[in-house]
Amino acid sequence: MLFIGMVIGAIILFLSFYIVGPYGAGIFLIVLFGLVFSTYQKNKEIYEDVKIIREKLGLLREEEKFQQEIEMNQKEYDNNKDEPKFISKLDEEIEEELVKYMKENKE
């Protein structure tokens, strides 16, 4: 199959070079880039669809579950970062250290 594609590509290259002249090779490269990019986009879309299906069926891999949990925690943090109850002890300690540092350097 790959060999057939290479032969067809070579035929198109020679025909475009014959019809358009020296610009044929450039046109062929542009068309080839477009085809490769289109194939990449379709493969990416199919991969995302399969991932959504696996997610709905509960068939995610371990790293995908971990990534999904990270994204969920990030969204939760972004939505609740201004609420005082969301601030953790570590955040409070860091904030206290910053206030202390600012007071020491202000004087």
Q: pLDDT digit string (tens) for 43-93?
A: 999 999 998 898 888 887 888 888 888 888 888 777 776 666 666 767 777
Return the ∠ at Cα 77 (arms to 74 and 83), rounded to 5°. Answer: 175
pLDDT of residue 49: 93
Using pLDDT thresholds of 50, 70 and 90, give the confidence band for residue 6: confident
Name the residue range of residue 8's domain.
1-59
Q: Which amino acid is at 18?
A: Y
Same domain for 78 and 107:
yes
Domain boundary among 42, 59, 76: 59
Count structural domains, the chain. Answer: 2
| Residues 32, 11 share a domain | yes
Does residue 106 register a pLDDT over 60?
Answer: yes
Quick one: 53 and 66 in the same domain? no
* Closest to 9 measured CA to CA, from 17, 37, 89, 52: 17
Are residues 34 and 71 located together in one domain of the fold?
Answer: no
Looking at residue 44, its pLDDT comes to: 93
d(CA 11, CA 14): 5
Residues 87 and 66 occupy one common structural domain: yes
What is the three-class DSSP state of 18? helix
Are 81 and 106 found together in one domain?
yes
* 51 and 94, same domain (yes or no): no
Which residue is listed with tokens 């709905």?
A: 56
pLDDT at 2 over 70: no
87 and 36 both lie in a single domain: no
Rounded Cα gap, residues 2 and 13, in angstroms? 16
